[in-house]
Structure 1
Amino acid sequence: MRLKTIAAFSIAAVLSIGGAWISAGLIEDRSSEVVTSKLIDGQHDWTTVTTDGLLVALGGEAPDEATRFRVVSAVGTVVDPDRIVDNMDVKAREKIEAPRFSVEMLRNGEGISLIGLIPPFEEGDGIADQLKDVAEGTGITDLLETANYPVPENWDNALSYAIQALRDLERSKISVMADLIEITAISDSPESKRRIESQLARSAPDGVRLLLNISAPRPVITPFTLRFTLDAEGNAAFDACSADTEASKARIIRAASDAGKIEKPECAIGLGVPSPNWTKAVEVAIAGLKDMGGGSLTFSDADVTMVALDSTSQGTFDRVVGEVDAALPEVFSLHAVLPEKVVVDGTGNDAVVEFVATRSPEGLVQLRGRLPDDGIKKIVGSFARAQFGSDKVYLATRDDEDLPESWPVRVLAALEALGTLESGSAIVQEDYVEIRGLTGDKSASDTISRTLADKLGDAENFEVNVRYDELLDKTLNIPTPEECVSRINTILATSKIVFEPSSSDITEEAGRTIDKIAEIAKQCERVKMEIGGYTDSQGREEMNAALSQQRADSVRAALMARRVLTSNMTSKGYGEEDPIADNDTAEGREANRRIEFKLLTDARAAATDEDETDAPEVETETSSE
C-alpha cells in the first residue's frame, strides 16, 4: 500500500514537471513570435530575439542610441518590461569632421562687417581687435562664430594676409579660407588697379590660391583727346587715344590699322566724349591723313588739328584738307597746318630760337635757351622748382624781347609735360614743341598729348616721343638691382643650396630653395649678377676651385630650367677663397660651403667677361668634400 502511494506521488511529480516544462516552452515560443512580429512591423528586423523562460533577450547592432531605445520601448508593449534583457550594441559613431573655417570681410564707407566661422583666438587677438584702428569713426559689425577644432594648415597666414589687404583697400570684400582667398575691390584708376594687383600678387602666402577682381571706374577724360601720327614710310602710332565704348575703340583701331603699320594699338575708354559722332570724325580724319601721305592728327574735344609732313605738296594739302573739312560731322572744326621744315638744335644756343629743358635720370633739370624777360624767367624758375624740386633746377637762359606772346605758355606747357617723365627733354620753338624721354607710366604719352593739345591751342605742331620702361614703373613694384641681390641672399641665409657630397648635383630640398630664388630672378632679368660658388679648405685648392665652379654652373642651369632669363648672369667658382667662418670646425666648414649672389657693375661685368674668355680650361677632379 505504501509503495503504491509513493509511486503515485512520483508519477504526479513527473507529470507536473513535464507540464511546467511544456508550458514554459510554449511561453518562450509565443513570446519570441510576438516580439519578432512587433520588431518586423516596426522595421527593426536587424534585431535578434532569444527567449530563456520568461526572459526575452534582444541582440544586434542598433544604428544609434535613439533606435536602441525605440526597440526596447516597442518590445515593452507586448511583454512585461521586467522580462526584457537588452544585449544590443550601438554602432560606433563616425568621427565628426572639422568644419570648413571661412571669413567674409566687407569694408566700405559705413564701416567693417565680419561674418563666418573661425577657430578661437587668444584674448585680444581677434579680427575685430586687429581692425579697430581702421574702423575708427565708423564701427565694426562682428558676426563671427568660433569652433574649437584643429586649425587647418595655412589658415593663420591666409587670415593675416587678408586682414592686411582689408587695411589697404578702403572699398573691398574679402573671402578667406585656408586654401583660397578671394578679393573684390574698387580702385581709383587703371594705374591704381595695376599697382594693387601687383602688390597683392607679390605678397600672397604660399599654398593659398588667390583670386583677384579689382575694378577701376571709367575715367573722365578731359579734354577728350586723340593724337595719331603717320610717317612717310607708313608707320603709324597713337600718342593718345580716347573712345567712349568698346565698339568705338574697335572702329578707331581698325581705321588706324588701315592707314598704316601700327603695333599693339591701345585706346582708353572713358567719359567726356564731346559728340556722339566722335568715332566717325576720327575715322574721316585718319583716312584723310593717310591720303595726305602722313603727318599728325590731334583731336582735343571737338577741335581737330591736322599737321602735314613738311614734304607734302601744297596741292595735295589743299585737296585733302577740303575733303576732310567737308566730311567731318557737325560740331567738329578743322585746323590744318603745312609746316616749314623744322630744324631742332636742342642746345638753346643762337643757332635756333628755342627754349630747351633737360631732365637727367638723377632728376637734375637744366633750363637753357630764350625767355622774354626777367619777370617771365622768375615765373618759369618758380614753376620748375615746384615741379622738380628747388635744389634740382639750374636756370641758364637769356632774355629775348622779340619772342612771340605765346612763348611763356608754350614753355610752361612743355615743363609740365617733362614732369611726367623720369628723364628726357623738352624743346620749344615758335611753331613746334618736342617732348622726348623715358617713363614708367604707360599713360604718359596720353597725358602729355592731352596737356599740349589743351595748353597750346589750335593748329599747333608738336611731337611726343616717349618710351615706356617697365623698370621705371612704380606700380609694378619691380625691385632695384640692389634689392634683387639682397632678397636672393636673404633666402640663401635661411635655406642654403645643398649639393650631394663631392658633387655638383643639387639635392631635392635645395631645389625648393632655387624655386624661391627663381621667382625673384624673374623680376630681375635685366640685373647683372654673379653666382659665386665657395667650398671649405679641405682637399686640394685646384680641386676645390673646379668643384665650386661646377656648383655655380649648376645653380645657373637650374634657374634656366625654371624659365629664368640668365643672359645677364655669370657663374664663378672661388674655391676656398673668402671664408666667412673658421675652417677648423665642422660648423665653420659647413658655413663656408655656400652659394652667393653678387651685383655686377658694368665695369665688373666687363672684367668678368674677359676673365671667362681668357681663363684656361680646368680639369675636373673629384673632391672628398
Structure 2
Amino acid sequence: MFFRGLLATGLMAIVLSLIAVVVNRPAIENDLSSRLSTVYSAFGNDWARISVEGRDVSLTGKAPIMAEKQAALDAARRIYGVRVVNDRLETNPPVSPYTWSVSKDGKVLTLGGHVPSTEMRANIRDVSKKLYGDMEIKDAMKLADGAPEEDWKQALDFALQTVDYLGKGAVKISDSVVTIEGEAADVSSYNKIAEAFRGGPEAPDGFILASRVELPQMSPYVWSIEHVGRKVTLSGHVPSIDAHGEIVSRVRERFPRAEISDKMKLASGEPAAWDETIVYAINQLKKLRSGKVSLKDNVISISGEAADNPSYDSLMTAPVPDEISLKPAIYRPAALPYEWAAVWNGKRLDMTGYLPSKELRAKALKLVAAAFPGADSLDRTELASGEPENLQGRIAFALDQLKQLKMGSVTISNKVITLAGEAPDKAVLDKLRAAQPPSGAEFKIELEQPEGAGDAGTAAMSAAGLKADAAAISPYLWTARRIGNEIVLSGHVPSAEARSGLAELTARLFSGARIEDLTEIGAGAPKGWLKAARLALQQLVRIENGRVRLKDRTLSLRGQTYLASGREQLDALVKSGLPEGFDGTADISVKAAGAEMQYEQCQELVNRIISLARITFETGKASLTREGLGRLDRVAYTLRRCPAARIEIGGHTDSDGDEASNMRLSQDRADRVKKALVAAGIAAERMSSKGYGETSPIGGNDSAEDKARNRRIEFKLER
C-alpha cells in the first residue's frame, strides 16, 4: 500500500508538472524568444529568425558571413533555459570581387561595399568620425566573406586618408586593387594623390594602386609666358604633367640662353585648342624684345615691345588658332632717345628719325608738302614707339620754322625742338627767336646769319692796301654740317681738286651717310686752307648735330659730343692743334646721358653704329684713326646705357700677310679698343678682348672692298 501510495503521489506530481508546463509553455517560449532577440539586436543581427518550441530554439535565415552565423548560434546556446538549438541557418557565399569604398561629395562621406566583420565595420565608422568629424557620415557597408588575404585594414586606412584629397570622388578597394577617381580638391592635393598612388610610404603592401583623378576644374583657365631680359617666366595652369614637360622643352628650344622660372600648376579646364595655342604663344613671344603672352579661357593677350618692325608686323598679322580671340597691346621697338629730324638744303627736304605709325608718317609727308611746295622730299624715317606727346603738332611747328631758313635742320628729341642753320636775315632770325612751341615742348635755336661778301669785302681789301680781285671771296666761308645721318658741305673751295678731295674724305669719314655737296669754287682761300678744312672734317666725326666752319683763318666748331673727353680734345685742338696762322673756337656741349636699355637694345644700336661706319686703324697698326676714335665715342655712349651687359670686343683682319701676324694684330686692335673704352668710362671688368685674326671673314678676300669688310671690330653683348 505504501508503494502504491508513493507511486500515486509521483504520478500526481508528474501530472501536475505536465499540467504546469502545458499551462506555462507560452510564457516560457515568449521569454526565451524575447531574451534571444534582445541579444541579437544588441550586436546588429537582423537577419536571424527565432522559433521556440518549449525550450527548444530553432534558428533560420541567411547569415552574411560565417562568423555571424556562429555568433548567432553561440548566443542562443548561452541563453538560460534553452535546451536545444536547432541550426537551420544558411550563409551567403564569399563575395567576389570583394569591394569596399569611401566616397566624398561636398560635406557628405559615404562608406560602402563589404567588410569582413562587425568589429571592422565599427572601427571604420570610428576612424571616419575622427578624421571627418565636420562631415555627415553615411554607413552603407555590408558584411561579407571573401576579403583578400592582404592587409585589408591597411588598405582601408590608406583609402580613408587619401579620400581627403578629393573635392568630389571615391576611393575603391576591389580585391587587391585600390583605385581613386574623381576630381582633386586642388593642385596640391592632386600632387599628393599622384605621389601616394605612385607607391609612397603610406601605400598598403600587396595592393595594386590606380589613379583616375582629374585635376581641379579652373575657371577662368589662365596661363602666361613672360620674357624680360634673359629671364622667361611661365605661370598659370597646364592640363597634365606631359603638357608641362612639353612647354618647358619648347621654351628651352626657343630661348636657349634664358633663365626659366617655372611657376606652372596642374589644373583642368583648358580650352579646346590648347596645344596649338601654346605653340602660337611661345612663337609670338619670341618676336618681342620684352613682353608677355597671356591666355584666359579662349582669349589670348600679347603685350610688350616688338623686337623690330618686321616682328611687329608679323605679330599683328599672324593667324590666331581657331576659337581663340586676340587682344594685342604691342608697340613697335622703342627709340631712346626718340628723335625726328628734317634737313633742308635749299632744294630738297629729307625727313629722318622715328615716327610711331604709318598713319603719322603719311600726315608728316603732307605737312612737308604744304611747308615746302614743289620741293623734292625724301622720307627715311623708321617706325618706333616711345614718341613724345603731340608729336604731330610738334612736327607741324618744326616745319613752319625750318621753311624760313635758307638751309638748315630741325630736330625733335623728346620734348626739345632744335632749329639749326642759316637765317636769311636778322628779321627772320628775330622772328624765329620769338616763336612759341606747342604746349609741353621747348624750342632751341642754333642759327647763324649769313656773312656778307662782294663789294663790302672788296672795299675792305682796298682799305687794307691789298689788290682787289673780282673773283676773290671775303670773308672766305666754308661749312660742313652734320644732322643725323646727313652731311651738307656748303660755301667756297679754292679749286675743283680741293672740292673733289674734300668730298672723297667726307665719304670715307662718314661712310653710310647721305652727303650733299653744295660748295662752289671761288678764289680768296688763305694759305693752308685745305689742310685746315681736312682737319675740320676729321673733327666733325666726333660732333653730333653740329657743324665745323672755316671763316678765313678761323675754325669754329659747334654741336654736341657723346663724351666729355671728346669735348676736351676738341677744345685742345682749337687752342693749339691748328695749322700755322689759324685760330679757332669751340662751342661744344656734351650729349645728355640716354635712358638705360636692355642689352639686346644696346646690341642693336652698336651694330647699327658700326654698320654705318667701321672702327678704323692706321694701316698695319693698332692705332685708332681720328675717325675711328670718333665712332668709338658713340659706341661708348651706347654701352653706358646698358651697365649690366658684358662685352666681348672682337678684332678681325683680312687674309693679307701671314696668319700669326694677323692674329697678333687683331688682338692688339681689340686691346686698343678696350683701352679706349675704359678711358671713355666703361668699366674694364665688363669687357674682354679677343683677336680672331683672319679666321672669321664676313666676305671674300678677293677684292679691296671685301678685304675692308673683313678688317673690323665687333662687339658682342651678353648679360
* TM value normalised by structure 2: 0.29
Which structure features the higher share of strand residues? 2
Structure ID, larger Rg: 2
Higher RCO structure, 1 or 2 (CA under 8 Å, sep 6+): 1
* TM value normalised by structure 1: 0.33
